[in-house]
Structure 1
């Protein structure tokens, strides 16, 4: 019994040892499987099914590209006008770029407004030319989304209007000089505002000014007060390809650089029969004058010197064969279209300073006429006061013969 019992006890002890080892082994396997992240553990009841959990977390989403498109001009559009804007759409407009190239691949200068999603050419495009628009928007991880579209501009039309400037590059003119643009045909009123927008004036130093339509074929520009002495003026007229009539287009663009000289103001009083000449605010000469007699009075108002001729001939015989005259004249300076001048009149020197005997002109002596001629510039100001007749606006460059408020009414932008 004791022997048998002892044997049984030993067997029982070994059995408990094997159970303990097995339990430890199983526990180790479970711990190993849990730490290893194995996706197969059939003894855990998973069989060959994939585990639904992973320590790597959810997969990162694919980067999304910003969508871009050219919305105008339409793809492959023909006969596009030369100043057409390029419009586009983008989901990331702040970081979107637009490049326009011509048929040779040269980039066209323009201004990109990212708030309005529009590109505007800095100058008119060329007639009958193909252009390519490329719109690019960046995306994540260095990727970009790019789209291209092409269009072709209109051919040069048969109905084109020549636009000219009275003034040219490099001229120096007086402080009252208006800028003058002329058109080869009448511009309908509905197009005049756009014409004004295309004619920009830059003055240095800056001065307030505006355009005024003198007629359907002529428009002037003046500042609020006389130009400051020494002002540099640049004006840019961009009318090539711009509609300026029903079926008519501007022929070309032009630019003008010029300068305002010293300030010279001439003031003529009929009461005193004298002209006071001021340069840069200081009186430099007082000149006796004879103005128009009562039957042919001089005009009272503010005018400017329009043209100068050292020697010319006044001939009125075509207008008045009976009472007309033909007379050589020295040191003539035109101030009205109707034929009023400042000029030398040696035949009236005895009357100058006390009696009016002219046909409407401002008569001065031969010597003072030459002196004054040598001092003046086209655009210098002359104001005549106290005569029997008022200056009619339009009889010459009468831009200063009206108030600023009245002058502004002639603009289609004010």
Structure 2
């Protein structure tokens, strides 16, 4: 009997010992949990707009902030993996994008912050920007891939009047090789031209990025254009027309290439003075006085070798009807005329030679005319505006 009782007591002791061991294990787990909790980062990351948001504004809505810590990494990208540039400011408190977002686009945000103990906290979000009901684009010159003369600005006309010009201009970036300072100037609310202070250096490569997709150009009207345009500046050609001596001196890369006899605007129809850029080239065209306010004074259906200098209708062109005017007196209605033959077939005449040795963007300077200087926005002629006024 005593032996049985002893055995029972031993079993009870063994059970008690086992229970004590379990309690110890429970205490150890609780201690580990407290230790783990103490290692959780105190930094709090907040992303606006909220996860899953729709129809988000393309400007001003995206912002990432950190409380009780500092942002160390923010990555925002669209569905194609294209990242949105931005910067962390306020000593790690805030991240904002460098520019607007594209319209109708889904973005993913990943942000990391670190607290004072060096522990990190992360947050992720996704949202979709608005789909605009009204849009605009910019029609630009010169064309992508073209080679142009040293006077060619990058000129863009918008299909809607712009009331937020600073936002639109910020979305257009221009890089050149070699580097040169290029600035934009608005003519009205629908045209923006870019140029350097002086004519381009021959051989300059120009790259323009039109990041207009999502830019709010006017209330409720957004750009829908994302395009890169590249062009090259060719050789330097500047031709000077003297309305008094009736001659034009053509200089190529600073050296006189040819001197040609011309006729300019007769009294009452004087040619503009100033620097004018060739903006259009036509082997043959019709010139009708009614289109430029001269009624039915002339209507010539086959004007050869015509190169446009102003939007208002000034050309430098071939003239087969001028008789002895070239080099002697002014007989035109405002254009610069060069001797030519009807049909423009003779390549030896001055008009043909000049046409075949010119390109879009070449400069034609007129001096000693009795008219005023051409307006900077009449054609691609912003060179007639002083630089300090251009950059205002």
TM-score normalised by the chain length of structure 1:
0.76
* In structure 1, distance between residues paired with 2:100 and 2:161: 24
Q: Which residue of 2 aligns with 1:78?
A: 54
Query: RMSD in angstroms over aligned alpha carbons?
Result: 2.6
Alignment counterpart, residue 391 of structure 1, candidates 373, 381, 387: 373
Mapped contact 1:237–1:255 kept (Cα < 8 A): yes
Mapped contact 2:200–2:233 kept (Cα < 8 A): yes
Alignment partner of 1:373 is 2:355: yes
Q: Which residue of 2 aligns with 1:50?
A: none
Q: Which residue of 1 aligns with 2:21?
A: none
* In structure 2, distance between residues paired with 1:273 and 1:142: 80
Secondary structure of 2:337's counterpart equals: strand
* In structure 2, distance between residues paired with 1:392 and 1:283: 25
Unmatched runs of 5 consecutive residues or more in structure 1: 1-58, 410-414
Secondary structure of 1:405's counterpart equals: helix
Alignment counterpart, residue 70 of structure 2, candidates 83, 93, 96: 93
User: Structure 1 residue 139: deviation in Å?
Assistant: 7.5
Q: Which residue of 2 aligns with 1:145?
A: 121
User: Structure 1 residue 73: deviation in Å?
Assistant: 2.2
User: Structure 1 residue 66: deviation in Å?
Assistant: 5.0
TM-score normalised by the chain length of structure 2:
0.80
Mapped contact 2:40–2:119 kept (Cα < 8 A): no
Q: Which residue of 1 aligns with 2:331?
A: 357
- 1:68–1:321: structure 2 CA closer, same or farther, 3 Å change rule? same
Mapped contact 1:264–1:380 kept (Cα < 8 A): yes
Q: Which structure would you say has the larger Rg?
A: 1
Q: Which residue of 2 aligns with 1:187?
A: 162
* In structure 2, distance between residues paired with 1:304 and 1:341: 10
Secondary structure of 1:347's counterpart equals: coil
User: Structure 1 residue 80: deviation in Å?
Assistant: 1.2
Mapped contact 1:342–1:361 kept (Cα < 8 A): yes
Deviations 1:119-161 (A, max 9, x none): 52778445053x332222467999642222333322x121112
Alignment counterpart, residue 316 of structure 2, candidates 342, 353, 368: 342
User: Structure 1 residue 321: deviation in Å?
Assistant: 5.1
Q: Which residue of 1 aligns with 2:201?
A: 228
User: Structure 1 residue 355: deviation in Å?
Assistant: 0.8
Secondary structure of 2:383's counterpart equals: coil
Secondary structure of 1:342's counterpart equals: strand
Task: Compare 362-371 and 161-170 and name the one that shifted more.
Answer: 161-170
Task: Compare 76-85 and 300-309 and name the one that shifted more.
Answer: 76-85
* In structure 1, distance between residues paired with 2:236 and 2:323: 28
- 1:223–1:143: structure 2 CA closer, same or farther, 3 Å change rule? same
Tell me the number of residue pairs that the alignment of Structure 1 and Structure 2 aligns.
343
- 1:391–1:253: structure 2 CA closer, same or farther, 3 Å change rule? same
Alignment partner of 1:283 is 2:266: no
Alignment counterpart, residue 161 of structure 1, candidates 124, 127, 136: 136
User: Structure 1 residue 360: deviation in Å?
Assistant: 1.1
Q: Which residue of 1 aligns with 2:286?
A: 313
Q: Which residue of 2 aligns with 1:177?
A: 152
Unmatched runs of 5 consecutive residues or more in structure 2: 1-34, 341-348
Secondary structure of 1:371's counterpart equals: helix
Deviations 1:1-23 (A, max 9, x none): xxxxxxxxxxxxxxxxxxxxxxx
